[in-house]
Amino acid sequence: MHFGRHISGQFNAELESIRTHVLTMGGLVEQQLSFAMQALHKDDLELAKKVVRDDHKVNAMEVSIDEACTRIIAKRQPTAKDLRLVMAIIKTITDLERIGDVATRIARVAIEQPSTKQQKFHVSLEPLCRQAITMLHQVLDAFARMDVDAAAEVYKLDDKLDAEYEAVVRQLMTYMMEDPKNIPNILQVMWSARAIERVGDRCQNICEYIIYFVKGKDVRHLDEKAINDIL
Amino acid sequence: MHFGRHISGQFNAELESIRTHVLTMGGLVEQQLSFAMQALHKDDLELAKKVVRDDHKVNAMEVSIDEACTRIIAKRQPTAKDLRLVMAIIKTITDLERIGDVATRIARVAIEQPSTKQQKFHVSLEPLCRQAITMLHQVLDAFARMDVDAAAEVYKLDDKLDAEYEAVVRQLMTYMMEDPKNIPNILQVMWSARAIERVGDRCQNICEYIIYFVKGKDVRHLDEKAINDIL
């Protein structure tokens, strides 16, 4: 029994360590997104370059956490809730890595369009980006506490993000119609807006993994009512 | 020993069954993409509606294969190559499901822009979509045989898809500049083009999982030279 407990204690420590790494990765991704937004907003070329340079850190964390998860499955043969945690983590880090790519994409726009003449297009991305960062922050918080209620709250925030995105697109379309020769530049900004809007979808995915871990139900592809019934 | 072999035989049959399901899902996704392209190209509203209606089948397959994978981990405690296969499958079906979403997105454009006056914008998507379908078909073939060389070949096809995508975007930008009042409609087509281009990235992901399974190395985020060194 003692041996059994020791093993289990070690196992718990390993799971806890992976969870901590996920939160560290999440924190880095949040920072990348925040820096990318600042770089775009303040035309800060150095900061934009830093975001691009640091993307490999996010990628390396994804690979290393993924390896740790596979190792723990092979070594500890987790079942039930432990296994669900590992599965939820494997999926969560994929979404976090993609959010990291969004940060890089925004940073690239800041690098390729450094002139102040584009400023008016950039400004419109700030509230959208801020909302995406809030959503990411809150979902990481829900993940840290494995709190389904908090996850359900974050899930709903995506509607606001979508509405903001629609407003940005309408605004950018107006710029395009007014000034067709600027279409290629405005399109770059529009791609970024779309990428930011997708951050919301990825945060929703993470909400679903939290619910899967806690409730043991896969709620992907269900509508909001069906999800609420499970919560 | 006999018991051991029996267990292992059962286990193999279970793994084989999951693999078959992945290929069935892949076939369905390929069909969805192909139907969506036809619907857009031939202005076939009924076919477009069918694609949207059938998306839930793709989603349901993702959830059911995911469950089967978790069950096999809990029950059979796979290690080494068996575990890598399960991991590769879990990741592959996520990408397949997203490719299914792309098909739905294209079908929606066919539904929302049914008038023949948009035809000239649609036509330009056909070669792009055809290339994406070819890439998907070939990666599923590589997956069926777990053939790394074939996977490496498919990986390279993405450059062609990207080049075709760039050409489509340039063409659509020209339409936008010539006829600014059509910008909203052309943007819809442009989003679809981008979604199709992303199919190539997802096929590359699947190539990486095949390499991971066969070679035991995670090649995500590596450059082409580093990947070739592993192959």
Domains, in order of start, for chain A:
8-228 (1.20.58.220)
DSSP-based three-state secondary structure for A223: coil
**Chain B partners within 8 Å of A73 (Cβ):** 73, 83
Confidence of residue A9 (pLDDT cuts 50, 70, 90): confident
Say which range, A112-116, A169-173, B3-7, B32-36, has the weakest mean pLDDT.
B3-7
**What is the per-residue pLDDT across A150-169, written as a single tens digit (0 to 9) for each?**
999 999 999 999 999 999 99
Query: A63 in contact with B at a CB cutoff of 8 Å?
Result: yes
**Chain B partners within 8 Å of A80 (Cβ):** 74
Distance CA A89, CA B5 (A): 33
Q: Do B74 and A83 touch (CB under 8 A)?
A: yes
pLDDT higher at B9 or A102:
A102
Query: A226 in contact with B at a CB cutoff of 8 Å?
Result: no
CB A38 within 8 A of CB A110: no
Report in angstroms the alpha-carbon separations of B21 from A18, A197, B17, B27, B28: 31, 32, 6, 10, 11
**Chain B partners within 8 Å of A218 (Cβ):** 63, 66-67
CB B48 within 8 A of CB A39: no
Query: B198 in contact with A at a CB cutoff of 8 Å?
Result: no
Residue of A54, A79, A197 to mutate, testing the B interface (most B Cβ within 10 Å of its Cβ) = A79
Amino acid identity at B152: A
**What is the per-residue pLDDT across A46-95, written as a single tens digit (0 to 9) for each?**
999 999 999 999 999 999 999 999 999 999 999 999 999 999 999 999 99
Q: Closest to A177 (Cβ–Cβ): which among B78, B180, B190?
A: B180
pLDDT higher at A224 or A12:
A12
pTM of structure: 0.93
Q: A159-184 burial string, b = 16+ CB within 10 Å, else e? A: eebeebbeebbebbbebbeeebeebe
Confidence of residue B231 (pLDDT cuts 50, 70, 90): confident
**What is the per-residue pLDDT across B110-125, written as a single tens digit (0 to 9) for each?**
898 765 555 566 667 8
User: What separation, in Å, do the N-terminal and C-terminal C-alpha atoms of chain A show?
Assistant: 36
**What is the per-residue pLDDT across B143-178, written as a single tens digit (0 to 9) for each?**
999 999 999 999 999 999 999 999 999 999 999 999
Residue A2 in this model has a pLDDT that exceeds 50 = no
Q: Do A220 and B59 touch (CB under 8 A)?
A: yes
Query: A13 in contact with B at a CB cutoff of 8 Å?
Result: no
**Chain A partners within 8 Å of B184 (Cβ):** 173
**Chain B partners within 8 Å of A88 (Cβ):** none
DSSP class of residue A114? -
DSSP-based three-state secondary structure for A125: coil
Confidence of residue A136 (pLDDT cuts 50, 70, 90): very high
Say which range, A222-231, B128-137, B165-174, B189-198, has the weakest mean pLDDT.
A222-231
Residue A121 in this model has a pLDDT that exceeds 80 = no
- For the purposes of burial, counting CB atoms within 10 Å of the CB of B170, is it exposed (0-12), middle (13-18) or buried (19 or more)? exposed
**What is the per-residue pLDDT across B10-34, written as a single tens digit (0 to 9) for each?**
999 999 999 999 999 999 999 999 9
pLDDT higher at B216 or B4:
B216
CB B76 within 8 A of CB B143: no
DSSP characters for chain B?
-HHHHHHHHHHHHHHHHHHHHHHHHHHHHHHHHHHHHHHHHHT-HHHHHHHHHHHHHHHHHHHHHHHHHHHHHHHH---HHHHHHHHHHHHHHHHHHHHHHHHHHHHHHHHH--SGGGHHHHHTTHHHHHHHHHHHHHHHHHHHHT-HHHHHHHHHHHHHHHHHHHHHHHHHHHHHHH-GGGHHHHHHHHHHHHHHHHHHHHHHHHHHHHHHHHH----TT--HHHHHHH-
Query: B7 in contact with A at a CB cutoff of 8 Å?
Result: no
CB B126 within 8 A of CB B192: no
CA A65 from chain center: how many Å? 16
CB B187 within 8 A of CB A173: yes
CB B36 within 8 A of CB B48: yes
Shortest Cα distance, chain B CAs vs residue A85, angstroms? 11
CA triple B205-B210-B213, angle to 5 deg: 125
Quick one: pLDDT at residue B114? 66
